[in-house]
Amino acid sequence: MAVASESVEPAATTPLAMGHQYVAFALMVALLAALPFFVYPVFLMKALCFALFACAFNLLIGYVGLLSFGHAAYLGSAGYLAAHAAKVWGFPPELAILTGTATAAVLGLVIGALAIRRQGIYFAMITLALAQMIYFFSLQAPFTHGEDGIQAVPRGTLLGLLDLRPTTTMYFVVLAIFLGGFLLIYRTIHSPFGQVLKAIRENEPRAVSLGYRADQYKLIAFVLSATLSGLAGATKALVFQLASLTDVHWTMSGEVVLMTLLGGLGTVFGPVVGAFIVIALENYLAQLGAWVTVVQGLIFVVCVLTFRRGVIGELGHLLKKPL
């Protein structure tokens, strides 16, 4: 589905605008490095995993204009394979994460090759249907253990040097993974490849008339988005030492849409802020039980009606500085 971003993209490529983003990135790194000494690190690790997931989703919807309703398939499948590789196959954490990420990449290539041939609501429905197939496979496959999931996943020792059992050590590894994925996305959207993606989003027939093979560019972006979503899912499985059906359920696909829209569609830092807001709400409103979903729905409605650019989008609009 073609979704036009309301952020001021042309200015984002100017040296001045990029300078503002460098400052914002430095502040984000400093804040995230200090937070575990004041905030529960497990909560922060969960938020960072979902922030990477939202950034990967934003790459597809915000810069290509493709709305996927099946991104939970990559998050959840990577989590299952990473957990299985670590617990059953005895892989070290780095290989377990790579196994999960590679699984998401292959899955993204297969689903993307099928879905990319359609546009609009048809693309969204195909991704949702295929993701539901992954969900039912995860429910029935013996190695996933059904509704019990894969539990007691060992964190292991990273590169044979870092014992990941201490929470603080695990946090900084997760932070490094998040920053690596974030920088990869940032470099992608500010590269010539990223400019072509924006051109396809704004006017695909014109991009095709200029000689660009739009389907190939969209497929590459789709696979990259799925791969980074898988990286988030594999990391999350090791953090919580658990892989469950929750991460592959269709509601997770809806949740990442909420994170992206709440933070700011088509902005660099918006998905990070949106993920932290949604995870914080889920954490502090947990006592409401099923009403948490209702609260999330109300927040989504308010976001759409009052600040359609999202938190970061509105902030950048007020400051006249794209973020």
Contact indicator for 120, 1 with CB cutoff of 8 Å: yes
Q: Region of 266 please: left (phi>0), alpha (psi -120 to 50) or beta.
A: left
Whole-angstrom distance, CA of residue 310 vs CA of residue 314: 6
pTM for the structure as a whole: 0.88
Whole-angstrom distance, CA of residue 259 vs CA of residue 162: 32
**Paired strand residues for 163:** 157
Q: Domains plus CATH for the chain?
A: 10-319 (1.10.3470)
> Which residues have a Cβ under 8 Å from the Cβ of 283 and sit 6 or more positions away?
43
Would you give per-residue pLDDT tens digits along the chain (323 residues)? 344 333 333 334 555 566 778 888 889 999 999 988 888 899 999 999 999 999 999 999 988 888 888 899 999 999 999 999 998 898 999 999 999 999 999 999 999 999 888 888 888 899 999 999 999 999 888 888 888 888 988 888 888 888 888 888 999 999 999 999 999 999 999 899 989 999 888 888 888 888 888 889 999 999 999 999 999 999 999 999 988 888 898 888 888 988 898 888 888 898 999 899 888 888 877 676 667 777 777 877 877 777 777 778 777 777 766 66
Contact indicator for 229, 57 with CB cutoff of 8 Å: yes
